[in-house]
Chains A and B, each alone.
Chain A
Amino acid sequence: MTLLQTPKKNKRASKDTLLLYSFLMPSLIIVFAMTVVPLCYAFFLSFQDYRLNKPQFAFFNGLNNYIEMFTNKAVLTSIGNTVFYTVVSVSASVVFGLLAALIVNQIKTGKSFYRIAIFAPMMLSSVVVGVIWKFLFNNQLGIVGYILSQMNIAAPDWFGNPRWAMASIIMVDVWQWTSYVFLLCLAGLESMNMEPVESARIDGANAVQIFWHIKLPTILPLIQIAAIFRFTWAFRGFDSIFTLTKGGPGIATETMAISIWRYAFQQYNIGLSSSLSVLMFAILMVLAMLILRKTFRKED
């Protein structure tokens, strides 16, 4: 109702509304054209047998791509990998990020240094991060292997052994994105009202009690936001996995995003790739609705 409070004649008000619509339109049109249009196209393609190298032979094949998606073992493996990768990586980074924020918040001298040091990884291109870790984990020359050998520990074949490859790509993701949780939690802690903490301390509460009953509830909304965005990014993660393993060895580290790329550009199977895209989109939209409903309810 805000507009009606401004003293304006009707004609001016409608002109004003027109102006505001024109503020909005360019953004809406671009976002619509670049997200809704391709998603509809992907949906359309997901019902076809469409080969990228012979588009002239494309034909509708009903639900075949979806049936294949849920029966093909490789696709199911990649869905399983995605869930595993996402859950482990998100939980680890939430725990580490929260811990780091709590500790750095206690520090007075040199706080900026620690803040910058810990947020640095998320500002880097995932490709650069992938290359750096590929180098650090290199079997013959990697510094990690060297340090481990100094401690008489035999370094595993980080990216060659299927189990270690999954652990390694998760580790790299946690290394890069713990920063995000850290930044949000730290911002929350810094803007927190300290009075309840002080009075609890006077009443004899210990650090654990203060954390559990005062600090955690205050920054919980931020932890939720961090977790939801971390989930989104890990779930659709592509760049660092692509740089580190391209989904290998075999398909041990192949996530849905990598599968979508591989089916489209290596196997030229646009139909199957599109149906996976549709599935991924649907899952993320459910998540988006959860967070958006929360945001909008809060505002009302």
Chain B
Amino acid sequence: MKKNKVVLKVICYLFASAMALIFLFPLFWTLITSFKSYRMAFAQPPVFFPPIDFSNYVSYLSRGDFMLCLRNSLVVTLVSASVSVVLGVLAAYALVRGNLRGGNAMAMFMLASRFVPPVATVIPMYMIYRKIGLYDTLPGLILLHLAMDIPYVVWMMRGFFQEVPLAVEEASWIEGCSRVGSLARIVIPMSKAGLAATGVLTMIFSWNEFLFAMIMGGVRTKTLPISMAMYMGETGIEWHMMATAGILVLLPALIFSILVHRNLGAGLSFGAVKG
């Protein structure tokens, strides 16, 4: 019996490690390629452990438009994540506690909009933007992000707010707290783990976003994923530089998601798992 258990455990670790290898190896390979020179990236047999050398990073960072793309990516990510969290939290609260006329229909509408394919809206929006002068502007791009992020925040926070007992909030009203006061001092603190995961995931979605930026962005609003895709189109085979660009784009998203990794399951289940 005991021997069986040990064997089972070993099998579990073997399987889990094999899977971890499949998921991590591409990232490892990209990382080491980013340390290689142009010539070394092509070497046969491939070099598995090149000396750690950041010169590709230095040269990528000093590329003409890198700073512009980084700035655009940061502005779009931070503005759309913070605005959508604030607006989404307010809307979710109103939907949960409001008992408003048509509230259910409005909740349905919000949630249904998560299913709208972005490619179906982005082409008409492109034509509208051309007409009203929002094409190739950061506010225009941010608006598209908001439409993607807000329903996500509403759906998530709605689930978390439903878990906060009404009685606690009522007690604070008796002591003279206002709506805004009880939201800020009770409801939000009680669901802060869920809020953190939601906020981080919103940032990651916006940071990674590609389709909107490709269709709505011209020279002025290029984001990092776009600069990477364009770089691939221009040079084709400069894999050491592509790997460098890839690491620069993926590292922030990875680090932030590791920070909240315990709550990610709840943050992605759209209310089915309570954090």
A-side residues, CB < 8 A to B, are 1-7, 16-17, 19-21, 23-24, 26-28, 30-35, 37-39, 41-42, 45, 100, 103-104, 106-107, 112-121, 123-128, 131-136, 138, 141, 143, 146, 175, 179-180, 183-184, 186-188, 190-191, 221-222, 225-226, 229, 232, 235-236, 238-239, 242-243, 257, 260-261, 264-265, 270, 273-274, 277-278, 280-281, 284-285, 287-289, 292, 295-296, 299
Contacts and interface: CB of A to CB of B under 8 A. Distances in A.
B156 interface: no
B234 to A, nearest CB: 13
B265 A124 contact: no
B195 interface: no
A210 to B, nearest CB: 13
B45 A146 contact: yes
Contacts of B122: 38
Nearest to A133: B26
Given A104-B16, A117-B24, A243-B229, A39 B121 contact: yes
A196 B147 CA distance: 43
The bracket for how many chain B residues form the interface is 35 or more
Given A128-B228, A131-B228, A19 B124 contact: no
Contact of A27 (B9, B13, B90, B273): B90
Given A1-B99, A20-B97, A264 B123 contact: yes
A242 B233 CA distance: 12
A57 to B, nearest CB: 15
A30 B269 contact: no
Given A121-B23, A225-B269, A277 B119 contact: yes
A127 B225 contact: yes
Contacts of A136: 26, 29
20 contacts: A3-B98, A3-B99, A6-B170, A20-B97, A20-B179, A21-B98, A23-B93, A23-B98, A24-B100, A27-B91, A30-B147, A33-B143, A35-B147, A124-B254, A125-B207, A125-B208, A127-B249, A238-B118, A242-B210, A292-B111
A92 B266 CA distance: 23
Interface in B81-137: 87-88, 90-91, 93-95, 97-100, 104, 106, 108-125, 127-128
Contact of B13 (A107, A146, A226, A295): A107
Contacts of B16: 100, 103-104, 107, 114
Contact of A236 (B108, B117, B253, B273): B117
A8 to B, nearest CB: 8
Contact of B120 (A112, A135, A260): A260
Nearest to A225: B272
B224 to A, nearest CB: 8
Given A281-B116, A281-B117, A222 B91 contact: no
Residue among B119, B127, B239, B269 with the most chain A CB within 10 A? B119
